Structure 1
Amino acid sequence: MYNLITILMKKITAITALIIILFGAHSADAQKNQEQLAQDFQKLSGKWTGSLTYLDYSSGKPYTMAADIEVKRINDSNEFEFINTYPKEKSANSTQIISISQDGKYIGKEEVISRTKLAEGQIQIVTQRQGKDGNDNKEALIKQTYTISGTSFSTRKEVLFSADNKWILRHEYVYSKK
């Protein structure tokens, strides 16, 4: 009987140790993902100049306008302030706070699908979320692609409406460092 109890206790101890190791590895990966994304976005700190090209759903044609952005990290946190300015359309100016989740799986409400280092040394981060878009506010899968380097930065929003099978480029911001 004593041997059986000893064997069971050893198995329980081994299983508990394995669970602790797996949880620790998962926590380390989450911390690494979050830190990596924060480092990627930290590269954006500063002032950028560029353009916004967006699809005008009413006309079906793309429209391009000047766009600038300033990115600031908020107190060494996982939050970044994006200050968007449009030199010729001041009424469109806006500020957005982007947060990276503690587990590194989300940027705001967008799930991080991939993070890839491109051949040119750029980092490309792709996120997705369910949402609504278009003049009719239709259900859609919304994909955001961030491409980051020390001298260039772009964000591209693509939309896949529920009834369609083709992605539509909704808008793209392209910037270069000032």
Structure 2
Amino acid sequence: MYYQQLLFWAFVLVAVVGGGRYSLDYWLMQKFSASPMPLRTATVKAQVAIALFVLVVGSVAQASEAPAKVAMQELRAITQEWNGSLTYLDYTTKKPVTLVTTLHGMQATPQELLLNFVYREPNGSQVKGADKVLLSVDGTCLTWDGVPLQISSKTYLPNETLQLVLEGRGLDDKKNCSIKRTMLLSAHQFSILKEVKYNSTTVFVMRNKYEFQR
């Protein structure tokens, strides 16, 4: 699933089955084959050194793989009324369209947020919509309208703004794609950028962006 995990389990495999003629043991055995006692001592030392090396590398690999987590308390700033806009890509015209938007965020359950949107169309009419955002128990995943998105990055910017980068697989325009949402949240700012990358492309393109202020 991750390149780092591939390296980690490769180290485990070598530790279990040995390296054969490519191992340090083999080299020491060839070097000290004329003297049994140094050979035995050197082999034991080599095995201990290799075991320690694998443990250290494994610990570092596991530490680097520790997933980013977020708590519901860090997301509670969403649960208020926001005024701003939605800019989305119109697939027909291939041009961005911006709508005046109001958001009322609320906490539906201890692990779920409900985002209620009101969009003002260019002709003056209003359209309503809603997103459900479910936080996993371990805090590593946000399921956004049924699409599980792992938290790939969590950063607190100098102005105390929380930045989350969420990534996963889903559908957009009825096509399979990779989905990336970048969220910025503070007491006075809330934005969500959604980008998609289709299987036939190599770069992410903007699907929509919400920008709210208080």
Q: If the TM-score is normalised by the length of the shorter chain, which range does it land in?
A: 0.7 to 0.9
1:74 aligns with 2:108: yes
Displacement of 1:106 in angstroms is: 0.9
Secondary structure of the residue aligned to 2:78 is: coil
> 1:117 aligned to 2:152?
no
The answer to whether the aligner puts 1:147 opposite 2:181 as a matched pair is no
Describe the SS at the equivalent of 2:159. Answer: coil
Q: What does residue 105 of structure 1 align with?
A: 140
- Give secondary structure in 1 for the equivalent of 2:98: strand
1:64 aligns with 2:101: no
- Cα deviations by residue, 1:132-162 (Å, 9 ceiling, x for unpaired): 213xx22210101111010010001000111
Taking the aligned partners of 1:131 and 1:73, their CA distance within structure 2 comes to 24
What aligned pairs does 1:1-178 form with structure 2 within 5 A after superposition?
33=69, 36-75=70-109, 77-88=110-121, 89-91=125-127, 93-108=128-143, 109-134=148-173, 137-177=174-214
Give the SS at the match of 1:154. Answer: strand
- 1:37 to partner: Cα distance: 2.9
> TM-score with structure 2 length normalisation?
0.62
Unaligned 5+ runs, structure 2 = 1-65
Superimposed CA distance per residue, residues 52-93 of structure 1 (whole angstroms, 9 cap, x where no aligned partner): 000111111111010110111135x011111111134423x1
Aligned residue identity for 1:97: K
RCO (CA 8 Å, sep 6+): is it higher in 1 or 2? 1
- Larger relative helix fraction: 2
Structure 1 outlier segments of 4+, above 4 Å: none
The structure whose Rg is larger is: 2
2:141 alignment partner AA: Y
Query: Aligned equivalents of 2:135 and 2:115: distance in 1?
Result: 13
SS in 1 for 2:120: coil
C-alpha distance in 2, partners of 1:38/1:71? Answer: 13
TM-score, length-scaled by structure 1: 0.74
Task: Give unpaired runs (5+ residues) of structure 1.
Answer: 1-28
RMSD after superposition:
2.0
SS of the equivalent of 2:71 reads helix
